[in-house]
């Protein structure tokens, strides 16, 4: 099954600010199209009935939800501030 990866507006803005780091993050997020919950992903919490997972990408963290055939990346940020609401 193939999943589509979508970025929330918040994640898009964060990614645009990162410059050359964004290429590495985009490559890592593209892996989610074939396996939405890779072995190194970690369940973080429930949010509005969906599980939120964390994917480590160097010093950055991508928080995302899996909804049917879509992976929605909610937030991309450095480690300490990635977990704040």
Q: Tell me, what CATH number does 73's domain have?
A: 3.30.2310.20
Query: Considering the entire predicted model, what is its pTM?
Result: 0.90
Average pLDDT of the residues of the chain: 92
Chain centroid to Cα 83, Å, comes to 12
Q: What is the pLDDT of residue 83?
A: 78
Q: What is the pLDDT of residue 1?
A: 81
Domain holding 52, by residue range, is 4-82
Q: Could you give the angle at the alpha carbon of 27 between the alpha carbons of 75 and 63, nearest 5°?
A: 20
Taking 70 as the pLDDT cut, the residues of the chain under it are none
Structural domain tally of the chain? 1
And the tokens for 52? 């939120």
Q: What is the pLDDT of residue 72?
A: 96
């Amino acid at each position: 099954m193939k999943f589509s990866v979508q970025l929330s507006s918040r994640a898009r803005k964060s990614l645009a600010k990162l410059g050359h780091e964004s290429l590495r993050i985009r490559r890592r997020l593209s892996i989610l199209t074939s396996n939405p919950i890779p072995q190194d992903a970690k369940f973080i919490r429930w949010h509005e009935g969906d599980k939120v997972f964390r994917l480590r990408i160097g010093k950055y963290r991508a928080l995302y939800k899996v909804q049917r055939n879509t992976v929605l990346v909610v937030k991309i940020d450095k480690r300490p501030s990635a977990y704040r609401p």
